[in-house]
Structure 1
Amino acid sequence: MLVTYLEASRDLCETDSILFGAALATCRIIGAKVSTAGRATGHSSAIPAWRRRTEERIAKARALIGRLICFRSGNNRPRIVRTVRMAFAGTNVSLSQPDITQKLTERIDDLKQRIAAWGNRIRRYTERSTRFNQKRLFQSDQKRLYESLERPMVSGTGPAPNQADTVAFWRGLWSEPVNHSEGPWTEVVASECAGITPMDPVIITPDDVAEAVRRAPNWKSPGLDGLHHYWLKGFMVCHSVLARQFQEALNQKSLPSLFTTGITHLGS
C-alpha cells in the first residue's frame, strides 16, 4: 500500500504526509500510544510522575513547617490553629497541653528530615540520569558532550525580558532594508575564482538517502512534521522517492517551507 501512495506523490510535502500517516497507522495497529497533539508545537514533559508527587510533598511539608513555626511563635489565627490541629490529627497531642512547644519542635524536625530524604532521592535520580545521558551522548556525539561539560552553567536570576521590547529589538534588525556597499576586495576574489573549475553536478541516489538515514538517531527530536528517523529507516521503499524528489528540489534550487521553517525558543 505504501508503494502505491508514494508513486503518486508529487513533492516532498506529500511524501512526508504519506510517511507520517503510515507511521500513525502502524502505531494504531500494534496498539502503541501516540499523541498527535505534539506534531507541530507540543513538547512532552520528561519529568516522571513520582518526582512531581515528591516535589508536591516537599512543597506541602515546607508550608506546614511555616505554619507550625508561626504557631510556636504565638500566632493564634484561626487558619494557623486549624492547620496545626490537622498536623496532629490521630495523635494524643492537644494544643493546650504544657509541652506543646516540644511537640511542635519534634514535628518540625520530623518534617525537615522527610524533606531531606525526599530531596536526596530526587538528587540521586538527577545524578544517575545525568550520568546515563552523558554516556549515551558520548557514544553518539562526543563533541557535544565535551562542549556541554566545558560550557559554564548560566542561570537567569534577573527579570524576564519584556515581550514588546524583544519584538521591537529584533524587528529593528531584520525588518529594515539594508544597502551593503561591496569593497574592492570582492573584485579581487572574483578574479581569483574565475579560473576555478565548477564542481560536477550532484546526483542524489537512494543509497545516499539510505546511508544518511542509517547514521541518524532513531528518536531524535523531529521537526514540525513530527516524523522520527526510525520510520525513515523502516519504510525503505521511500528511499528512492526521497532521492528523486530531493534531486528535483536541488535542481530547482528550492525547498518547501517544511524544511525551512522551525520554532525558536529564547533561552535564559
Structure 2
Amino acid sequence: MLVTYLEASRDLCETDSILFGATLAVCRIISAKVSTAGRATGHSSAIPAWRRRIEERIAKARALIGRLICFRSGNNRPRIVRTVRMAFAGTNVSLSQPDITQKLTERIDDLKQRIAAWGKADSAIYREVDTVQPESSLLE
C-alpha cells in the first residue's frame, strides 16, 4: 500500500508526510522511541510564514464580518454581542444607538476593503518573490 501511494503522490509534501507517518508506525512496531517534540504536524509547512499571516488575518476578518452580519440581522446571543462590542472598542459607538445598523454596515465595508487590500498585497508580494533573480545570475 505504501509503494502505491508513493508512486501516486504528486509532490514532495505528500511524500514527506506519508513517509513520516510510515516511519512512526515502524518505530512503534519495533518499540523504538522517537522524539516528536517541537513538531506539530511532523513536517514543515510549504507555505511561507508571511503568506500564512496574511491568510490568518483574512480569515479572522471574514469571521468578524459574519458575526457583524448576524448581529445586524437580529442575533443577540452573548458571543455575537461580545464580538460586536470588541469590533467597536475604542470608539464611542453604543450598541443601543438608533444608527447602529449604519455603523455596522460601515464597519463591514471597511473590513471588506481591508481583505481586498491584503489579498492584493499577498499576490503582489508573491509575484515579486517569484520574479526575484538569484544574486549569482547578477554577477554574470
Same fold (TM over 0.5): yes
Aligned to 2:122: 122
Q: Say if 2:126 is the partner of 1:105.
A: no
The CA deviation at 1:121 is 0.8
- How is 1:46-195 mapped onto 2 (pairs within 5 angstroms)? 46-132=46-132
The CA deviation at 1:50 is 2.3
The CA deviation at 1:130 is 3.2
The CA deviation at 1:49 is 2.3
Encode CA deviations 1:82-122: one digit per residue, 9 max, x unaligned. Answer: 11011111110000000000000010011111111111111
Larger radius of gyration: 1
CA distance in 2, matches of 1:67, 1:44: 33
CA distance in 2, matches of 1:96, 1:72: 12
- Tell me the TM-score normalised to structure 2 length: 0.60
Among all aligned residue pairs of Structure 1 and Structure 2, give the percentage whose two residues are the same amino acid. Answer: 82
The aligned amino acid for 1:91 is T
The CA deviation at 1:131 is 3.0
- Tell me the TM-score normalised to structure 1 length: 0.33
The CA deviation at 1:45 is 3.4
The CA deviation at 1:43 is 5.1
Encode CA deviations 1:242-265: one digit per residue, 9 max, x unaligned. Answer: xxxxxxxxxxxxxxxxxxxxxxxx
CA distance in 1, matches of 2:122, 2:50: 10
Alignment RMSD: 2.0
Q: How many residues align?
A: 94
CA distance in 2, matches of 1:118, 1:111: 10
Encode CA deviations 1:117-146: one digit per residue, 9 max, x unaligned. Answer: 1111111122223334xx67xx8xxxxxxx
CA distance in 2, matches of 1:73, 1:107: 15
Aligned to 2:28: none
The residue matched to 1:91 in structure 2 has which SS? coil
CA distance in 1, matches of 2:130, 2:45: 16
